[in-house]
Structure 1
Amino acid sequence: MSNLVQLPLHEGWSFRDRDDAEGWMPVPTVPSVVQQDLIANKKLEDPFIGFNELKARWVNEKSWVYRKKFQKPAAPAGAAIVLVLGGLDTFATVKLDDQIILKSDNMFLAHRVDVTKALKEEGDHTLEIEFDCAFLKARELHDQHPNHTWVGFNGDVSRLAARKAQYHWGWDWGPFLMTAGVWRPVRLEMYTARVSDLWPQVQLAADHETAEVTAMATVDAVTGDKYTARFRLSLEGREIARQDIPVGEDKTAQVAFRVNKPSLWWPHGYGEQTRYEMSVSVLSGDEEVDSTAKKFGIRTAEVIQQTDKHGKSFYFRINGMDIFCGGSCWIPADSLLPNISAQRYRDWIKLMVEGRQVMIRVWGGGIYEEDIFYETCDELGVMVWQDFMFGCGNYPTWPGLLDSVRQEAIYNVQRLRHHPSIVIWVGNNEDYQVQESSGLTYNYEDKDPESWLKTDFPARYIYEKLLPEVVSEHSPNTFYHPGSPWGDGKISSDPTVGDMHQWNVWHGTQEKYQIFDTLGGRFNSEFGMEAFPQRSTIDFFIENEEDLFPQSHVMDFHNKADGHERRLATYLVENLRSSTNLNVYIYHTQVIQAETMMFGYRGWRRQWGDERHCGGALLWQLNDCWPTISWAIADYFLNPKPAYYAVKRVLNPIAVAVRRSHHDWSVAHASPPKTSRYELWVASNKPALVHGNVELRFISTNTGCDIRPPIVRNDILIAANGTTNIITDGVIDHTVEPEPHVLSARLWVDGRIVARDVDWPQPFKYLDFSGRGLRVEVKKGKSGADEKILAIHTHKPVKCLVIQEYEGVRLSDNAMDIMPGDEQTVVLTGTAPESVYYRYLGLEGSEGESLSLL
């Protein structure tokens, strides 16, 4: 048993407005932030509802004091007593019995303060933490540095002066809520020696037959006693190696183990997520004084950048396997961070895995996430693209701030470096775009870091010197990339190199989403389309029934995107028949988002097979931080939108795809095309060749009949981890076949349909969707009452059948296109209501169609 004792300090806190000396109020528990505690004391209404965010603005400009009284713990003779503060948000002065023991100005750091002498006296002691107003403090720092060029996107630019989650200043998807408080756990520790760090590192042989696992332990010892470090390497609870190493004068011990025939860690869908465990015990003689353990994976992770016919590649290779990185960008899952439970983190990552996404990008305007986030990614096989916390701005670089940034980077890289899921560290989000848009100095040929500090873009020093130095020293096997987007010093929109954020659909030139794949680059790390959330989420934040219409004041208030009214209207009116009914309008925005994601992902995945032209696509964004209207493909309450399912289908391990050439009806003044070219292909991430059969049907949207015989290709050889083009020169002569029709593709492997795709005439608003003849049969599932199977048939082609989702209920598929003669099934698991509603494009009625599940 370890002699280290931990005493959590979660209960018994109180807090007050700094200006109200007598106004102490109880704190339910820490970690917390002040808005949570004010809500608990009925001093603040939930800022996520209605216009309450405005009512909460006064909190943003206040300073707060938190206090806890506790008794001196009983500590063994010679033991140190240390106060451990996991995270303070943000400008904090910590006092123990009225004596200042710590000042902190960085939310992203943890702190350890030796309080042994301060707690010499028996009895009660008082811990007090004063949180200076971050909003006003940042403005004060801004004003103290007038020579810096303060420019940026989103929020007050003074945010750039504060090492605090930048989205707290408000973003184009989130509210302006300046939190303060003890946002991560706080405790007392008592020990004579402890393991302060354990760092397992892996070198995997090129043939994967052996791996060398080294581990370094660092010991924090109170006395000069001699200690031994006992290292153990285990797999699935079974010890496979052990060694005792004396702790050196430098307080470290290092060991190396050779592992034969190692079991590797893979992204999900490519292999097992095997994790080994390295543990170390610190021994004084035969007595164990402390121990710790970390799980890690044996794997290699490379970013391949090599010159080819498209420019310079940018893709990921894990254990020698090239991986197309289909996934999402992640923002903090709540504006009030302590709201996010471990289970909620797990549910988000599980949702990704169920959606066949293999990479998540932790965006640079949020936080370095909780341990459970990365542990779940390790366990479930999701690769992590990890930004450092710099977003959309020209950050200043005065010496004290640089020192704080270096400490922040070292702390978080050391904290996270053992996670096999983290495959890249990236310097910032869109700061090079700010440099370009503001005309700041950037001479890529200038390689003198000290000179960068003297320009009007000094933050280059952080991204191209400070951070890569930290990663190189503390996690040398992890790839570092200066920014997102960034590509060898070229403009950030260059499609031939690095990664890019493609916002010319929705933002920018607002291109048609049907051509999204032509706008991509070597790795598309941001792109998106807005959609409304589920109706139940809207009902949560709208208080009055009279506000339940698409353009109500409160509805617009819960959409923070600049110009969202025009942009939503543009994409809706270009593609769909207008409706002011709220439920239909919600559905229409979701159809547009789903189509947009499908067109982008489908084409970019095809490009993977063309010399890795596109290495991956990370949509903006997976999640929301409050109940809102945004680019998220699942809303704040984890309700998937149709786009989630569209992406899931395109990321099928083997996916068939069909597409006709784009006819820009607006440029052609709505004149129909005389001919259309079409293509048919299969994308596969399988490591070996696969045999399959493909069928392509031509089905009238008006009658549901085939207007010509299907094209069938039997026993095609599907290329491994690439693209197989089946038809590249198909032609539709609309003078011969004028009737609007869909191209419906199906793929069989081993006698089973494994993928479908449908290409529709565009735009949808020109099509007649009446009288579809859809039928849904409810059958009992194999797992009893909590599983039902929905068998779906139709007489005419159906676009985007959406079955209503409920909390605690999961659907195996949704937002589907249904074709005549092709029954599809959906497995419904969980405790469902007696009936559900469903809707498809063109179905009349506010609620949709009711389906009894009894």
Structure 2
Amino acid sequence: MARQVHPISQNWLFKQADKEDASFLPVAQFPTNVHLDLLHHKIIPDPFIGKNELEVQWVGETRWSYKTSFSTPASALPLSRGTKAVLAFDGLDTFATVVLNGTTILETENMFVPERVDVTSLLRTGDSPDENVLEITFDSAYLRGWELVEKYPNHKWGGWNGDNSRFAVRKAQYHWGWDWGPTLLTCGPWRPIHLEVYQSRIADLYARTTVDDSLKSATVVAHAEIEGEATRIRFELSSLDGSTSIVASETVDVTTDTSVSATFHVENPALWYPIRYGKQPLYSLKATLLDANDAETDTASKRIGIRKAELVQQPLEDQPGTSFFFRINNIPIFCGGSDWIPADSFIPRISRDRYYDWIRLMADGNQFMIRVWGGGIYEEEAFYDACDELGILVWQDFMFGCGNYPAWPELLDSIRREADANLRLLRHHPSLVIWAGNNEDYQYAEGENLTWDKSDTDPENWLRTDFPARYIYEKLLPDACASLIPDVPYHPGSPWGGADTRDPTIGDIHQWNVWHGTQEKYQNFDKLGGRFVSEFGMQAFPSVKTIDAYLPLGRDDPDRYPQSSTVDFHNKAEGHERRIGLYLVENFRYGPDPLEQFVYTTQLMQAECLASAYRLWKRQWKGPGREYCAGALVWQTNDCWPVTSWAICDYYLRPKHAYYTVKREMAPLSVGVTRREHHHPRDKYTRVRIDRSTRIEVWASNLELEAVEGKVDCVVRVWDVETGECTHDMVAARQVDIPPNRSTELVAMDVPVRNPGAGEEARAVVAAYLVSSADGSQLARYVNWPEPLKYLHLQKPKKLVAELARDNSVVRVSAEVPVKGLALECDDDNVVFGDNLVDIVPGEVVEIPVKGATAGTKIETRYLGMI
């Protein structure tokens, strides 16, 4: 018989298990979790609104039961000899006891491990639609976690965010609360449940691909693992280019070995590339089990991509340490991108479409890589499918974050199963190019001075230290990766590298000395770089629309102001008031009222900060042998609820202004400018006789694979910020060559002013342009302002124009004085701007693409200094 798969998704009920008079109620959806069901029945208030999070904490300390009934499918009967019936649980959150027809069949302790239980002998057969009763009871992960903490008192418990109970539990760690997310300890059947009936099945299907250095040929080795009896298996490799043509096929006899394989040689393969570097063609790998009569008993298929992916760590010219960059199909990639947290506190309500919307937002924002952070989940297939289709590289953490994890034997066994299951689930995705052991656990170990010796290479000794999780990151997980995904690099942690986790010369770093740590000025990011910066960030308020959505009374709420207790409640970062205040007061003139202008100013601050990092670090991508910085992943791209955080897009997928400045910095061709003040005393004692100069440095960044040779001029124009007068207009470099895939220094010069040293430099707005030498068309643009911006006497434009043009497809913006950070705003969420937060200089019209606008669309403007 052919394998049958029957979803167990109907007639589910739930109730509070430790309440005697509780009655079962229908679930809101399936898969589900208890908060969604309680919300559906209005038993709890929406924890995303106001301070309701506090009102629902009892949910996480309560036991809950889920129940359904189902009939044994007639098509599966009779359950003859050799036929097996299996209940497959894709995900149970977390401590679950599963009972079928009065018999306990499963007890779980790991949210990340799918489970399969043979229930052939327990299924009831008959005419009743509710002949089989399936009940799952979920214990409180929070309380079970504390029981385990007390059971192992010798472990040195501790970490950042949440509480110690989370380290004992294999569950999404952000459910304990984080410095950007609420404490909402969920439970429930969070992924699908199926009844499978079969005599044989394909238990696993995957492929290992090897691409020749010439990229002209590839070898695809298809592997299948078989359960039950089968005679033969047919492998087919097909192109998914629309024609679904079969590239290769082979039928293999199945012997006593449960693992079979077939090797395909593909000439001139359609290679998978990251976005902008090529297309994202995919192949279908299909396997079909055949019995002795050539009847099909099971099929399985995976979408794969053929590509060559390498992590290159090699010595550099002129600088210590080694590179850390990704090379895809022989192309070095500067991985500008972002970090990813789960897109909702309640994962079952994240739809496939919403995953695609998030990844499409990244692709549209010129981002190349996303890092799945180690305190969330191994993401849903839809997430990786979207990355495969849209060309976004994935850095995947294992699910450990910010603390000292224990390693007792039963927990290690659970983690082995977790690693095995998730590597098998995800290894076919071409977008996935690195696995990392954890997020910041080594950093925590260093910060707490845990006693472990990096020079000790005996894994058994590591278990006897007070940092036993080193065994997980340097033994258990790399062994699993070597066995299951030997072609994908494994990195012990993030950050991880040289002498310690702060070493900027080897591996990756998390640069939190802006915001956290020493709270450096973001203008100094060029001094704070590393070979690959996999975390950095700056907070900003979300859209005013998002704030209105979480205030209980919306726009009429008395707490609708930046310092209110409700607004503060929707910022989980300790000390956020001081840190936001510090960076605002260092850089801007601002006030808390009105709310709209304050929100704008925080978003301007974040946008300036992050753009500075991308611009200055991308400058260090200098070509072969000089890949001094090869990646910048901003913390973070998204939110799991409506909140003030480091995200560049809020919970409702509304981009903050930083999204657009990052997009501009990661454009195929860009120009950068930095401004430095130089003081040269004429002798070693004087405080008076000092020569001062203000210089600018200009460079081009070309992320394309073709040079722009001898056809580009670098034009520099200067305006007085107070008068709006253009004081200088010059060609600073003529017909320059801009080599591919690197930055190129163009010019270094004093800021052009009429009276050097008289203070005019502090009023000079400098714009640099790359223009075509042939026709004068603009290729790239950047406007550099004297900083801090709070010192400037910004003029309010009298002739600010922002009008729809070209059949409402663009907004044309201009002004007669320099305008810093002009933002376009529209109440209609269907109106989407392709750019925003642009600097305006006199004599120039900036065109901003827009979608969804009509002739009647009302577009408003906001800028620095308007209030």
TM-score normalised by L of structure 1: 0.95
AA at the equivalent of 2:358: W
Identity of matched residues, %: 47
Alignment partner, residue 776 of structure 1: 801
Q: Where do 1:53-132 residues align within 5 Å?
A: 53-74=53-74, 75-77=76-78, 78=80, 79-122=83-126, 123=128, 124-132=131-139
1:479–1:72 distance in 2 versus 1, CA, 3 Å: same
- Is the CA contact 1:61–1:133 (under 8 Å) kept in the aligned structure 2? yes
SS of match in other structure, 2:454? coil
- Is the CA contact 2:216–2:268 (under 8 Å) kept in the aligned structure 1? yes
- Is the CA contact 1:790–1:826 (under 8 Å) kept in the aligned structure 2? yes
Deviation at 1:408, TM superposition (A): 0.3
Alignment partner, residue 297 of structure 1: 305
Deviation at 1:127, TM superposition (A): 0.3
Picking from 641, 650, 655, the partner of 2:665 is 650
- Is the CA contact 1:576–1:763 (under 8 Å) kept in the aligned structure 2? yes
SS of match in other structure, 1:89? coil
Alignment partner, residue 493 of structure 2: 483
Q: Where do 1:296-695 residues align within 5 Å?
A: 296-308=304-316, 309-488=319-498, 490-544=499-553, 545-581=557-593, 582-609=595-622, 611-661=626-676, 674-691=692-709, 692-695=712-715
Deviation at 1:395, TM superposition (A): 0.5
Q: Deviations over 1:515-556 (max 9, x none)?
A: 122111111000000000000000011124210111000011
1:658–1:225 distance in 2 versus 1, CA, 3 Å: closer
SS of match in other structure, 1:176? coil
Picking from 811, 815, 828, the partner of 2:833 is 811
Q: Deviations over 1:311-370 (max 9, x none)?
A: 221111111111000000000000011111101100000000000000000000000000
1 CA distance for matches of 2:351 and 2:45? Answer: 21
1:521–1:837 distance in 2 versus 1, CA, 3 Å: same
AA at the equivalent of 2:731: I
- Is the CA contact 2:795–2:817 (under 8 Å) kept in the aligned structure 1? no
2 CA distance for matches of 1:837 and 1:310? Answer: 50
AA at the equivalent of 1:300: K
Q: Deviations over 1:88-128 (max 9, x none)?
A: 00000100012110111000011111111100443411100
Alignment partner, residue 682 of structure 2: none
- Is the CA contact 2:230–2:290 (under 8 Å) kept in the aligned structure 1? no
Q: Deviations over 1:592-631 (max 9, x none)?
A: 0000001111000000116111010000000000000000
- Is the CA contact 1:502–1:519 (under 8 Å) kept in the aligned structure 2? yes
Alignment partner, residue 796 of structure 1: 817
1:519–1:72 distance in 2 versus 1, CA, 3 Å: same
1 CA distance for matches of 2:859 and 2:215? Answer: 51
Deviation at 1:227, TM superposition (A): 3.3
1 CA distance for matches of 2:277 and 2:749? Answer: 33
Deviation at 1:647, TM superposition (A): 0.3
- Is the CA contact 1:778–1:788 (under 8 Å) kept in the aligned structure 2? no
- Is the CA contact 2:670–2:701 (under 8 Å) kept in the aligned structure 1? yes
2 CA distance for matches of 1:120 and 1:229? Answer: 35
1:502–1:176 distance in 2 versus 1, CA, 3 Å: same
Alignment partner, residue 849 of structure 1: none
Alignment partner, residue 745 of structure 2: 725
SS of match in other structure, 2:138? strand
Q: How many residue pairs get matched?
A: 830
Deviation at 1:706, TM superposition (A): 1.7
Alignment partner, residue 747 of structure 1: 770
2 CA distance for matches of 1:775 and 1:261? Answer: 55
- Is the CA contact 1:687–1:721 (under 8 Å) kept in the aligned structure 2? yes
Are 1:266 and 2:273 an aligned pair?
A: yes
> Which structure dedicates a bigger proportion of its chain to strand?
1
Deviation at 1:663, TM superposition (A): 8.3
2 CA distance for matches of 1:225 and 1:569? Answer: 68
Are 1:277 and 2:284 an aligned pair?
A: yes
Alignment partner, residue 3 of structure 2: 4
- Is the CA contact 1:231–1:255 (under 8 Å) kept in the aligned structure 2? no
AA at the equivalent of 2:803: V
Deviation at 1:778, TM superposition (A): 3.1
AA at the equivalent of 2:559: D
AA at the equivalent of 1:293: S
SS of match in other structure, 1:561? coil
- Is the CA contact 2:234–2:252 (under 8 Å) kept in the aligned structure 1? yes
AA at the equivalent of 2:144: K
AA at the equivalent of 1:114: D
2 CA distance for matches of 1:774 and 1:108? Answer: 58
2 CA distance for matches of 1:554 and 1:725? Answer: 48
1:808–1:6 distance in 2 versus 1, CA, 3 Å: farther
- Is the CA contact 1:12–1:29 (under 8 Å) kept in the aligned structure 2? no
- Is the CA contact 2:236–2:246 (under 8 Å) kept in the aligned structure 1? no
- Structure 2 unmatched ranges of 5 or more: 680-686
1:738–1:245 distance in 2 versus 1, CA, 3 Å: closer
Alignment partner, residue 18 of structure 2: 19
Q: Deviations over 1:233-254 (max 9, x none)?
A: 3342111211111123122221
Deviation at 1:774, TM superposition (A): 4.6
SS of match in other structure, 1:184? coil
- Is the CA contact 2:809–2:853 (under 8 Å) kept in the aligned structure 1? no
Q: Deviations over 1:181-203 (max 9, x none)?
A: 00011121222222111111101
Mean CA deviation greater in 681-690 or 229-238:
229-238
1 CA distance for matches of 2:723 and 2:213? Answer: 58
SS of match in other structure, 1:182? coil
AA at the equivalent of 1:436: E
Alignment partner, residue 683 of structure 2: none
AA at the equivalent of 1:301: A
- Structure 1 unmatched ranges of 5 or more: 845-854
Alignment partner, residue 233 of structure 1: 238
Deviation at 1:739, TM superposition (A): 5.9
SS of match in other structure, 1:603? helix
1:82–1:504 distance in 2 versus 1, CA, 3 Å: same
1:110–1:705 distance in 2 versus 1, CA, 3 Å: same
SS of match in other structure, 1:183? coil
1 CA distance for matches of 2:157 and 2:371? Answer: 27
2 CA distance for matches of 1:80 and 1:808? Answer: 51
RMSD of aligned alpha carbons? 1.8
- Is the CA contact 1:11–1:29 (under 8 Å) kept in the aligned structure 2? no
AA at the equivalent of 2:501: S
Picking from 139, 147, 154, the partner of 2:146 is 139
- Is the CA contact 2:306–2:430 (under 8 Å) kept in the aligned structure 1? yes
2 CA distance for matches of 1:559 and 1:368? Answer: 25
2 CA distance for matches of 1:524 and 1:232? Answer: 38
- Is the CA contact 1:298–1:420 (under 8 Å) kept in the aligned structure 2? yes
Alignment partner, residue 852 of structure 1: none
Deviation at 1:696, TM superposition (A): 1.1
Q: Deviations over 1:435-462 (max 9, x none)?
A: 0111112212110000000000000000
2 CA distance for matches of 1:205 and 1:419? Answer: 19
1:677–1:417 distance in 2 versus 1, CA, 3 Å: same
1 CA distance for matches of 2:233 and 2:610? Answer: 56
Deviation at 1:83, TM superposition (A): 0.9
Deviation at 1:373, TM superposition (A): 0.3
2 CA distance for matches of 1:337 and 1:592? Answer: 31
1:627–1:597 distance in 2 versus 1, CA, 3 Å: same
- Is the CA contact 1:161–1:396 (under 8 Å) kept in the aligned structure 2? yes
2 CA distance for matches of 1:241 and 1:183? Answer: 38
